[in-house]
Chain A
Amino acid sequence: MTAAAAATPMIRMSGVDKFFGPLHVLRNIDLEVPKGQVVVVLGPSGSGKSTLCRTINRLEPIDKGTIEVDGQPLPAEGRALAKLRAEVGMVFQQFNLFAHKTIVENVMLAPVRVRGVGKDEARRTALELLERVGIATQADKYPAQLSGGQQQRAAIARALAMRPKVMLFDEPTSALDPEMVQEVLDVMTTLAAEGMTMLVVTHEMGFARKAADRVLFMADGEVVEDATPEEFFGAPKSARARDFLGKILTH
């Protein structure tokens, strides 16, 4: 990688505004995420953190400002946008595995249909990925036959099958039973350690402390704090962040 390429941030947002009707959900967001960085986005519900995550691959269009992924501005809806989305992995709160396809078919689908990879090769890669996230034995089952934790790990494998440049996680453990949260976080921690650029919206403070390079704290559509995990959890600067941490860390 040349110095210039390394300097291009993976995600760049500048002056981003977004409204849901009269509700101002994102207020003048400026953000740069360098390659290889793991960013955790924290904040109370309704603070705009999920929306922020979803604007990066344009699942939510923005009203003002610009977003660039790896130096390329987000195109309008169409072929070019589909191409860009193929390089941005996304993991949803509700897993969203294709309910009519088996786990291995879920993982193979996009490489075959979007990248034109041969079926045999796609299946081999898919099984390797499922092995990596620890559910290779479930490959031929349907999503509804798996536990939530297994489904979410399959969804991570499905996103990784496209060899994305960056992974977006939109509250990946919020819909899980407590005993299944750790298995998903373990996969994400491994991914972070391997150098994947990640933006993770979550309520898992343990993951933020352990795996994050940087914590963004959002409230009312604004990025209120932008700090390392040590700084944020040790000495939050804003009253809102102290209030938020006080509520979730005392029990």
Chain B
Amino acid sequence: MDFLSRYDLLGAFWVTVQLTVFSAIGSLVWGTVLAAMRVSPVPVMRAFGTAYVNLVRNTPLTLIIIGASLGLYSTLGLALADDTSGTFLKDNNFRLAVLGFVAYTATFVCESLRAGINTVPVGQAEAARALGLRFGQTLGIVVLPQAFRAVIAPLASVLIALTKNTTVASAIGVAEASLLMSEMIENESDKLFLVFASIAVGFVVLTLPTGLLLGWVAKKVAVKR
């Protein structure tokens, strides 16, 4: 097993963790906005939310990530980092990847959340409106807090999927765990199964506690009716 010490396994997984965390935060925010659009009384908002979710959710992730790099940066010249800095390519690719993951994962967050909104009895929103709360307040103070509590477990699945999906970032050269794996496979072709196993274990170490922790949180905060 000492071949492992020749590689920066921890460093590569640290990039995986960073990709996951930034993308998760972004997806949660953008996914919530999309869900709000899909339940809003404004037809244009609803139409945009529906069209976006159905288009992006059904596009392969690899296409979105490569599109972010080749389309947004190479073709349209969208740079998300300072192009005079020494780490420009690394930073730019990382941020483009996060952008792609947010665009994609938010659709799944949106749909989970919408299912959660459907678990909140309609009387809750009626009571809020009857008290004089506006649409945004009704959604933000009464409906969404209850919807989130109902969908923590499904959101945990989305988060686990996202963690594993970050491997697609290797397609545009982000130095996360699976890019390191490709390098190890080339150099250690006699220890293929050990290479696979060490990367797989790394992902299980990240995702298993995520699922267990969020499962516990889901029980803890469940709304009693």
Residues of A within 8 A of B225 (CB): 99, 144
B133 A113 Cβ-Cβ under 8 A: yes
Q: Does B76 contact A (CB under 8 A)?
A: no
Q: Does B90 contact A (CB under 8 A)?
A: no
Bin the interface of chain A by size: 20 to 34
Residues of B within 8 A of A247 (CB): none
Q: Does B57 contact A (CB under 8 A)?
A: no
- Report the minimum CB–CB distance from A176 to chain B (whole Å): 16
Partner of A92, one of B41, B123, B141, B149: B123
Question: How far apart are the CA atoms of A139 and B85 in the complex, in Å?
Answer: 58
Segment 118-145 of B: residues with Cβ below 8 Å from A: 121, 123-124, 126-134, 137, 141-142, 145
- Report the minimum CB–CB distance from B134 to chain A (whole Å): 5
If over half of A's interface residues share one DSSP class (helix, strand or loop), that class is named, otherwise mixed; here it is: mixed
Q: Does B220 contact A (CB under 8 A)?
A: no
Partner of B126, one of A59, A87, A88: A59
Q: Does B224 contact A (CB under 8 A)?
A: yes
B132 A97 Cβ-Cβ under 8 A: no
B41 A77 Cβ-Cβ under 8 A: yes
Question: How far apart are the CA atoms of A57 and B126 in the complex, in Å?
Answer: 11
Segment 75-130 of A: residues with Cβ below 8 Å from B: 77, 79, 82-90, 92, 94, 96-100, 109-110, 113-114
Q: Does B146 contact A (CB under 8 A)?
A: yes
- Report the minimum CB–CB distance from A28 to chain B (whole Å): 26
B132 A83 Cβ-Cβ under 8 A: yes
Q: Mark A225-247, 1 if CB is under 8 A from B, else 0.
A: 00000000000000000000000
Query: Which single residue of chain A is at the shortest CB-CB distance from B142?
Result: A98
Question: How far apart are the CA atoms of A166 and B124 in the complex, in Å?
Answer: 21
Question: How far apart are the CA atoms of A44 and B130 in the complex, in Å?
Answer: 25
Q: Does B63 contact A (CB under 8 A)?
A: no
Bin the interface of chain B by size: 20 to 34
Question: How far apart are the CA atoms of A86 and B131 in the complex, in Å?
Answer: 5
A110 B133 Cβ-Cβ under 8 A: yes
Q: Does B223 contact A (CB under 8 A)?
A: yes
B141 A142 Cβ-Cβ under 8 A: no
Residues of A within 8 A of B129 (CB): 59, 82, 85
Residues of B within 8 A of A109 (CB): 131, 141
Partner of A85, one of B41, B132, B145: B132
Query: Which single residue of chain B is at the shortest CB-CB distance from A87?
Result: B132
Query: Which single residue of chain A is at the shortest CB-CB distance from B130?
Result: A90
Query: Which single residue of chain A is at the shortest CB-CB distance from B137?
Result: A113
Query: Which single residue of chain B is at the shortest CB-CB distance from A142?
Result: B224
B132 A82 Cβ-Cβ under 8 A: yes
Segment 200-227 of A: residues with Cβ below 8 Å from B: none
Query: Which single residue of chain A is at the shortest CB-CB distance from B148?
Result: A100
Q: Does A52 contact B (CB under 8 A)?
A: no
B126 A100 Cβ-Cβ under 8 A: no
Question: How far apart are the CA atoms of A110 and B137 in the complex, in Å?
Answer: 10
A114 B132 Cβ-Cβ under 8 A: yes
- Report the minimum CB–CB distance from B219 to chain A (whole Å): 15
Residues of A within 8 A of B132 (CB): 82-87, 110, 114, 162
Query: Which single residue of chain B is at the shortest CB-CB distance from A97?
Result: B127
Partner of B133, one of A59, A114, A145: A114
Q: Does A158 contact B (CB under 8 A)?
A: yes
Residues of B within 8 A of A90 (CB): 127, 130
B146 A96 Cβ-Cβ under 8 A: no
- Report the minimum CB–CB distance from A236 to chain B (whole Å): 32
Partner of B224, one of A83, A89, A99, A159: A99
A residues lining the B interface (CB < 8 Å): 57, 59, 77, 79, 82-90, 92, 94, 96-100, 109-110, 113-114, 142, 144-145, 155, 158-159, 162
Kindly list the 5 A-B residue pairs having the minimum CB-CB distance in the complex, ordered from nearest.
A86-B132, A96-B127, A144-B224, A110-B131, A96-B123
B residues lining the A interface (CB < 8 Å): 41, 121, 123-124, 126-134, 137, 141-142, 145-146, 149, 223-225
Q: Given A98-B128, A109-B131, A114-B131, 14 more contacts at CB 8 Å?
A: A82-B132, A84-B132, A89-B130, A92-B123, A94-B123, A96-B127, A99-B146, A100-B145, A100-B149, A110-B131, A110-B133, A114-B132, A144-B224, A144-B225
